Amino acid sequence: MKKVTNYFKTAALAIALLASSAAYAVTGAPVQGSANLKGKALMDKSDCNACHQLEVKVVGPAFKDIAKKYKTDKTALTKLPEKIIKGGAGSWGDIPMAPHPQISKADATEMVKYILSLAPAGAATKPAAKKS
């Protein structure tokens, strides 16, 4: 009987491991702390996903591309929340970003923190060329 119980123990462990890795996949990149996930939650409640996706450009640039572009830009945490609130074009092309006057500066900053956390670790980045 001992072998049988061992088998069940191993099976239970395997299931537990599978379950935890599945949860891992759903919650996304490991770099995101709880503060960054707050920004994601705020974005999911807003209209961001209508124009932005994580990996690919839709109407607006992919969030991962935004993260790469501003990863080393120290002004990003003040500049980008303002852009989310006021909208405007020129950083990525002629299509303007919609303004979001209803979003507070604090919430917009949380969103930017989340977006910037999406930059791949160790990726080659150059500082943003445009300082508008």
> Residues 67, 84, 118, 119: which binds ligand HEC (CB under 6 A)?
84
List, as one string, the DSSP characters of 2-14: HHHHHHHHHHHHH
Is residue 66 near ligand HEC by the rule CB under 6 A? Answer: yes
Of 12 and 35, which CB lies nearer to ligand HEC in the complex structure?
Answer: 35
Secondary structure element (H or E) that encloses residue 20, with its range: helix 2-27
Q: Could you tell me the smallest distance in angstroms from the CB atom of residue 106 to ligand HEC?
A: 13
Pairwise CA distance, residues 125 & 68, whole Å: 6
List, as one string, the DSSP characters of 82-128: HHHHH-B-SSSSSSPBPP-TTS-HHHHHHHHHHHHTTSPTT------
Is residue 59 near ligand HEC by the rule CB under 6 A? Answer: yes
Question: Is the Cα torsion angle 93, 95, 99, 100 positive or negative in sign?
Answer: negative
> Residues 89, 105, 120, 127: which binds ligand HEC (CB under 6 A)?
89
> Residues 11, 19, 35, 95: which binds ligand HEC (CB under 6 A)?
95
Is residue 48 part of an annotated ligand binding site? yes
Is residue 98 near ligand HEC by the rule CB under 6 A? Answer: yes
Sequence-distant (≥ 6) Cβ neighbours of residue 124 within 8 angstroms: none
Is residue 52 part of an annotated ligand binding site? yes
User: Annotated binding residues for heme c, as ranges?
Assistant: 48, 52, 97
The binding site for ligand HEC (CB under 6 A) comprises 43, 46-48, 50-52, 59-61, 66, 80, 83-84, 88-93, 95-98, 100, 103, 111-112, 115
